[in-house]
Protein backbone atom coordinates (compact mmCIF):
# COMPACT_ATOMS: atom_id res chain seq x y z
CA UNK A 1 0.00 0.00 0.00
CA UNK A 2 2.83 2.34 0.84
CA UNK A 3 4.52 1.49 -2.44
CA UNK A 4 1.38 2.35 -4.41
CA UNK A 5 1.08 5.74 -2.70
CA UNK A 6 4.71 6.54 -3.59
CA UNK A 7 4.06 5.69 -7.23
CA UNK A 8 0.95 7.91 -7.33
CA UNK A 9 2.80 10.78 -5.64
CA UNK A 10 5.68 10.51 -8.12
CA UNK A 11 3.26 10.46 -11.06
CA UNK A 12 1.52 13.55 -9.73
CA UNK A 13 4.81 15.41 -9.46
CA UNK A 14 5.73 14.45 -13.04
CA UNK A 15 2.35 15.70 -14.34
CA UNK A 16 2.79 18.99 -12.52
CA UNK A 17 6.23 19.45 -14.01
CA UNK A 18 4.86 18.65 -17.45
CA UNK A 19 2.05 21.15 -17.04
CA UNK A 20 4.48 23.78 -15.83
CA UNK A 21 6.73 23.12 -18.82
CA UNK A 22 3.80 23.38 -21.23
CA UNK A 23 2.64 26.65 -19.68
CA UNK A 24 6.13 28.09 -19.80
CA UNK A 25 6.47 27.09 -23.46
CA UNK A 26 3.13 28.68 -24.31
CA UNK A 27 4.10 31.92 -22.60
CA UNK A 28 7.43 31.93 -24.41
CA UNK A 29 5.74 31.37 -27.77
CA UNK A 30 3.27 34.16 -27.03
CA UNK A 31 6.08 36.56 -26.18
CA UNK A 32 7.93 35.60 -29.37
CA UNK A 33 4.74 36.11 -31.37
CA UNK A 34 4.20 39.55 -29.90
CA UNK A 35 7.79 40.56 -30.61
CA UNK A 36 7.50 39.26 -34.16
CA UNK A 37 4.27 41.19 -34.70
CA UNK A 38 5.78 44.38 -33.35
CA UNK A 39 8.80 43.91 -35.59
CA UNK A 40 6.53 43.39 -38.61
CA UNK A 41 4.59 46.53 -37.81
CA UNK A 42 7.79 48.50 -37.42
CA UNK A 43 9.12 47.14 -40.70
CA UNK A 44 5.84 47.94 -42.43
CA UNK A 45 5.90 51.47 -41.05
CA UNK A 46 9.45 51.92 -42.20
CA UNK A 47 8.52 50.56 -45.64
CA UNK A 48 5.63 53.00 -45.86
CA UNK A 49 7.93 55.88 -45.03
CA UNK A 50 10.30 54.80 -47.77
CA UNK A 51 7.50 54.34 -50.37
CA UNK A 52 5.66 57.62 -49.76
CA UNK A 53 6.11 58.63 -53.39
CA UNK A 54 4.76 55.28 -54.59
CA UNK A 55 1.77 55.60 -52.27
CA UNK A 56 1.19 59.11 -53.55
CA UNK A 57 1.12 57.82 -57.11
CA UNK A 58 -1.19 54.94 -56.19
CA UNK A 59 -3.64 57.20 -54.40
CA UNK A 60 -3.53 59.80 -57.15
CA UNK A 61 -4.30 57.13 -59.73
CA UNK A 62 -7.13 55.71 -57.63
CA UNK A 63 -8.77 59.09 -57.15
CA UNK A 64 -8.36 60.16 -60.75
CA UNK A 65 -9.80 56.89 -62.09
CA UNK A 66 -12.68 56.93 -59.60
CA UNK A 67 -11.88 53.36 -58.55
CA UNK A 68 -12.03 51.89 -55.05
CA UNK A 69 -14.65 52.07 -52.34
CA UNK A 70 -15.44 54.99 -50.10
CA UNK A 71 -13.02 53.86 -47.39
CA UNK A 72 -10.16 53.57 -49.87
CA UNK A 73 -10.93 56.92 -51.41
CA UNK A 74 -11.18 58.57 -47.99
CA UNK A 75 -7.85 57.06 -46.98
CA UNK A 76 -6.18 58.25 -50.18
CA UNK A 77 -7.62 61.75 -49.86
CA UNK A 78 -6.30 62.03 -46.32
CA UNK A 79 -2.98 60.49 -47.31
CA UNK A 80 -2.41 62.89 -50.18
CA UNK A 81 -3.50 65.82 -48.07
CA UNK A 82 -0.89 64.88 -45.49
CA UNK A 83 1.97 63.58 -47.64
CA UNK A 84 1.69 65.01 -51.14
CA UNK A 85 4.03 67.99 -51.62
CA UNK A 86 2.27 71.22 -52.56
CA UNK A 87 3.55 73.49 -55.28
CA UNK A 88 2.65 77.12 -55.84
CA UNK A 89 2.36 78.33 -59.42
CA UNK A 90 3.19 82.00 -59.70
CA UNK A 91 1.48 83.87 -62.49
CA UNK A 92 3.79 86.29 -64.25
CA UNK A 93 3.01 89.96 -63.89
CA UNK A 94 3.39 92.32 -66.85
CA UNK A 95 6.79 93.29 -65.44
CA UNK A 96 7.83 89.65 -65.55
CA UNK A 97 7.15 89.06 -69.23
CA UNK A 98 10.07 87.87 -71.28
CA UNK A 99 11.79 89.97 -73.90
CA UNK A 100 9.38 88.91 -76.64
CA UNK A 101 6.38 90.24 -74.71
CA UNK A 102 5.10 93.77 -74.45
CA UNK A 103 6.14 95.87 -71.50
CA UNK A 104 3.47 97.19 -69.16
CA UNK A 105 3.85 100.68 -70.60
CA UNK A 106 3.40 99.43 -74.16
CA UNK A 107 0.39 97.37 -73.11
CA UNK A 108 -1.32 100.41 -71.61
CA UNK A 109 -0.51 102.53 -74.66
CA UNK A 110 -1.87 99.95 -77.09
CA UNK A 111 -5.00 99.37 -74.99
CA UNK A 112 -5.73 103.10 -74.90
CA UNK A 113 -5.16 103.49 -78.63
CA UNK A 114 -7.28 100.43 -79.42
CA UNK A 115 -10.03 101.69 -77.12
CA UNK A 116 -10.13 105.00 -79.00
CA UNK A 117 -10.31 103.19 -82.31
CA UNK A 118 -13.02 100.81 -81.08
CA UNK A 119 -15.06 103.71 -79.70
CA UNK A 120 -14.84 105.52 -83.03
CA UNK A 121 -15.94 102.40 -84.84
CA UNK A 122 -18.83 101.86 -82.42
CA UNK A 123 -19.93 105.47 -82.90
CA UNK A 124 -19.80 105.10 -86.69
CA UNK A 125 -21.76 101.84 -86.59
CA UNK A 126 -24.43 103.40 -84.35
CA UNK A 127 -24.70 106.44 -86.61
CA UNK A 128 -25.07 104.30 -89.72
CA UNK A 129 -27.65 102.18 -87.93
CA UNK A 130 -29.68 105.26 -86.99
CA UNK A 131 -29.55 106.50 -90.57
CA UNK A 132 -30.71 103.12 -91.85
CA UNK A 133 -33.71 103.23 -89.51
CA UNK A 134 -34.65 106.71 -90.71
CA UNK A 135 -34.25 105.64 -94.32
CA UNK A 136 -36.46 102.64 -93.68
CA UNK A 137 -39.17 104.94 -92.34
CA UNK A 138 -38.80 107.23 -95.34
CA UNK A 139 -39.03 104.32 -97.77
CA UNK A 140 -42.31 103.26 -96.18
CA UNK A 141 -43.75 106.77 -96.61
CA UNK A 142 -42.73 106.98 -100.26
CA UNK A 143 -44.06 103.48 -100.90
CA UNK A 144 -47.39 104.43 -99.37
CA UNK A 145 -47.51 107.28 -101.86
CA UNK A 146 -47.51 104.77 -104.70
CA UNK A 147 -43.85 105.02 -105.79
CA UNK A 148 -41.65 102.06 -106.62
CA UNK A 149 -38.90 101.80 -104.01
CA UNK A 150 -37.63 98.32 -104.87
CA UNK A 151 -34.09 99.52 -105.60
CA UNK A 152 -33.88 101.59 -102.43
CA UNK A 153 -35.20 98.71 -100.35
CA UNK A 154 -32.60 96.35 -101.80
CA UNK A 155 -29.74 98.76 -101.10
CA UNK A 156 -30.99 99.42 -97.59
CA UNK A 157 -31.18 95.71 -96.80
CA UNK A 158 -27.58 95.30 -97.95
CA UNK A 159 -26.56 98.23 -95.76
CA UNK A 160 -28.30 96.75 -92.72
CA UNK A 161 -26.61 93.41 -93.39
CA UNK A 162 -23.20 95.07 -93.45
CA UNK A 163 -23.99 97.00 -90.27
CA UNK A 164 -24.93 93.75 -88.52
CA UNK A 165 -21.68 92.20 -89.72
CA UNK A 166 -19.69 95.10 -88.27
CA UNK A 167 -21.53 94.87 -84.94
CA UNK A 168 -20.88 91.13 -84.73
CA UNK A 169 -17.20 91.42 -85.59
CA UNK A 170 -16.47 94.19 -83.11
CA UNK A 171 -18.39 92.54 -80.26
CA UNK A 172 -15.37 90.46 -79.18
CA UNK A 173 -12.73 93.11 -79.85
CA UNK A 174 -12.02 93.77 -76.15
CA UNK A 175 -11.05 90.15 -75.44
CA UNK A 176 -8.96 90.05 -78.63
CA UNK A 177 -7.08 93.18 -77.54
CA UNK A 178 -6.42 91.63 -74.13
CA UNK A 179 -5.12 88.42 -75.71
CA UNK A 180 -2.86 90.48 -77.94
CA UNK A 181 -1.26 92.69 -75.30
CA UNK A 182 -0.76 89.85 -72.79
CA UNK A 183 0.58 87.36 -75.31
CA UNK A 184 4.16 86.15 -75.04
CA UNK A 185 4.31 86.35 -78.84
CA UNK A 186 2.41 89.54 -79.70
CA UNK A 187 3.61 89.53 -83.30
CA UNK A 188 1.63 86.37 -83.96
CA UNK A 189 -1.53 87.66 -82.27
CA UNK A 190 -1.26 91.03 -83.99
CA UNK A 191 -2.29 89.58 -87.35
CA UNK A 192 -5.52 88.20 -85.85
CA UNK A 193 -6.39 91.52 -84.25
CA UNK A 194 -5.47 93.45 -87.38
CA UNK A 195 -7.69 91.23 -89.53
CA UNK A 196 -10.64 91.83 -87.20
CA UNK A 197 -10.23 95.60 -87.44
CA UNK A 198 -9.91 95.40 -91.21
CA UNK A 199 -13.02 93.24 -91.46
CA UNK A 200 -15.02 95.72 -89.37
CA UNK A 201 -13.70 98.63 -91.42
CA UNK A 202 -14.68 96.86 -94.65
CA UNK A 203 -18.21 96.19 -93.38
CA UNK A 204 -18.56 99.83 -92.31
CA UNK A 205 -17.34 101.04 -95.69
CA UNK A 206 -19.74 98.76 -97.59
CA UNK A 207 -22.64 99.79 -95.36
CA UNK A 208 -21.86 103.44 -96.02
CA UNK A 209 -21.82 102.92 -99.78
CA UNK A 210 -25.16 101.11 -99.69
CA UNK A 211 -26.71 103.93 -97.66
CA UNK A 212 -25.43 106.51 -100.13
CA UNK A 213 -26.95 104.44 -102.94
CA UNK A 214 -30.24 104.21 -101.05
CA UNK A 215 -30.39 107.99 -100.62
CA UNK A 216 -29.65 108.56 -104.30
CA UNK A 217 -32.40 106.16 -105.36
CA UNK A 218 -34.90 107.77 -103.02
CA UNK A 219 -34.04 111.19 -104.42
CA UNK A 220 -34.83 109.95 -107.90
CA UNK A 221 -38.06 108.39 -106.67
CA UNK A 222 -39.35 111.25 -104.51
CA UNK A 223 -41.57 113.70 -106.39
CA UNK A 224 -40.79 116.73 -104.27
CA UNK A 225 -37.08 115.87 -103.88
CA UNK A 226 -37.25 116.69 -100.16
CA UNK A 227 -35.87 113.91 -98.03
CA UNK A 228 -35.43 113.76 -94.30
CA UNK A 229 -32.01 112.27 -94.99
CA UNK A 230 -29.69 113.08 -97.84
CA UNK A 231 -26.35 111.91 -99.14
CA UNK A 232 -24.68 114.95 -97.60
CA UNK A 233 -25.75 113.81 -94.14
CA UNK A 234 -24.61 110.29 -94.84
CA UNK A 235 -21.26 111.63 -96.06
CA UNK A 236 -20.12 112.57 -92.55
CA UNK A 237 -21.97 115.90 -92.33
CA UNK A 238 -20.45 117.49 -95.41
CA UNK A 239 -16.89 116.65 -94.49
CA UNK A 240 -16.51 115.37 -98.02
CA UNK A 241 -16.30 117.87 -100.84
CA UNK A 242 -19.44 116.53 -102.41
CA UNK A 243 -21.75 118.50 -104.73
CA UNK A 244 -24.71 117.25 -102.69
CA UNK A 245 -23.58 119.44 -99.80
CA UNK A 246 -24.70 122.52 -101.73
CA UNK A 247 -28.32 121.41 -101.34
CA UNK A 248 -27.85 119.99 -97.86
CA UNK A 249 -30.82 120.59 -95.58
CA UNK A 250 -28.46 120.63 -92.59
CA UNK A 251 -26.03 123.48 -92.14
CA UNK A 252 -22.97 122.75 -94.25
CA UNK A 253 -19.61 122.90 -92.53
CA UNK A 254 -17.50 125.79 -93.88
CA UNK A 255 -14.50 124.88 -95.99
CA UNK A 256 -12.10 126.12 -93.30
CA UNK A 257 -13.75 123.87 -90.73
CA UNK A 258 -13.60 120.93 -93.11
CA UNK A 259 -9.88 121.43 -93.66
CA UNK A 260 -9.25 121.85 -89.95
CA UNK A 261 -11.12 118.66 -89.14
CA UNK A 262 -9.20 116.67 -91.72
CA UNK A 263 -5.89 118.07 -90.51
CA UNK A 264 -6.74 117.08 -86.95
CA UNK A 265 -7.43 113.54 -88.06
CA UNK A 266 -4.22 113.43 -90.05
CA UNK A 267 -2.18 114.74 -87.11
CA UNK A 268 -3.70 112.19 -84.77
CA UNK A 269 -2.96 109.42 -87.21
CA UNK A 270 0.65 110.44 -87.65
CA UNK A 271 1.14 110.75 -83.88
CA UNK A 272 0.01 107.19 -83.20
CA UNK A 273 2.16 104.72 -85.13
CA UNK A 274 2.00 102.03 -86.29
CA UNK A 275 -0.75 103.25 -88.61
CA UNK A 276 -2.63 99.97 -88.60
CA UNK A 277 -6.04 101.55 -88.10
CA UNK A 278 -5.56 104.81 -89.97
CA UNK A 279 -8.13 103.83 -92.55
CA UNK A 280 -10.88 102.60 -90.25
CA UNK A 281 -13.62 104.87 -91.44
CA UNK A 282 -15.10 105.74 -94.78
CA UNK A 283 -13.66 107.77 -97.65
CA UNK A 284 -12.47 111.21 -96.67
CA UNK A 285 -10.76 110.17 -93.44
CA UNK A 286 -6.99 109.78 -93.09
CA UNK A 287 -5.77 106.63 -94.72
CA UNK A 288 -2.57 104.71 -94.31
CA UNK A 289 -0.60 104.82 -97.55
CA UNK A 290 2.94 103.42 -97.58
CA UNK A 291 3.27 103.93 -93.85
CA UNK A 292 2.09 107.54 -93.75
CA UNK A 293 -1.36 109.04 -93.40
CA UNK A 294 -2.78 110.82 -96.40
CA UNK A 295 -6.10 112.49 -97.03
CA UNK A 296 -8.22 110.60 -99.53
CA UNK A 297 -11.23 112.52 -100.80
CA UNK A 298 -14.47 110.98 -101.86
CA UNK A 299 -14.56 110.36 -105.60
CA UNK A 300 -18.29 109.75 -105.78
Of the residues 229, 259, 278, the one at which a domain ends: 229
Element (H, E) at 18: helix 2-50
Q: Does the residue 88 lie in any domain?
A: no
pLDDT score for 246? 37
Q: Does the residue 187 lie in any domain?
A: yes
Q: Does the residue 176 lie in any domain?
A: yes
Cα 43 from Cα 35, distance rounded (Å)? 12
Q: What is the pLDDT along the chain (300 residues), one digit of tens a residue?
A: 554 455 445 555 555 555 555 545 554 555 545 445 545 544 544 444 446 777 777 777 776 666 666 677 677 777 777 776 554 434 443 333 343 567 777 777 877 888 888 888 888 888 888 888 888 888 888 888 888 888 888 889 999 999 999 988 888 888 888 887 887 777 777 788 888 888 888 999 899 988 888 888 887 775 544 444 444 444 443 333 333 333 333 334 444 555 566 666 666 555 654 443 444 433 444 444 333 444 444 443
143 and 77 within one domain: no
Q: Does the residue 92 lie in any domain?
A: no
Among 234, 235, 239, CA closest to 254: 239
Which domain range does residue 185 map to? 102-229
257 and 204 within one domain: no
Q: Does the residue 247 lie in any domain?
A: yes
Cα 27 from Cα 202, distance rounded (Å)? 99
Of the residues 229, 251, 282, the one at which a domain ends: 229
Amino acid sequence: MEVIQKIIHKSTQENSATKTFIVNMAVSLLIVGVITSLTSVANATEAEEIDIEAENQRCSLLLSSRDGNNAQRTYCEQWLKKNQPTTTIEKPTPEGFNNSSLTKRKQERIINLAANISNQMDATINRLNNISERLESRIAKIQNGGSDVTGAESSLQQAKLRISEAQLKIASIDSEIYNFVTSENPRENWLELKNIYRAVKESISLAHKELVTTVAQLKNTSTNNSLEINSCEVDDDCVFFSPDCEDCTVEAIPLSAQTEKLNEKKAYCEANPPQAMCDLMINGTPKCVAGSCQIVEDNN
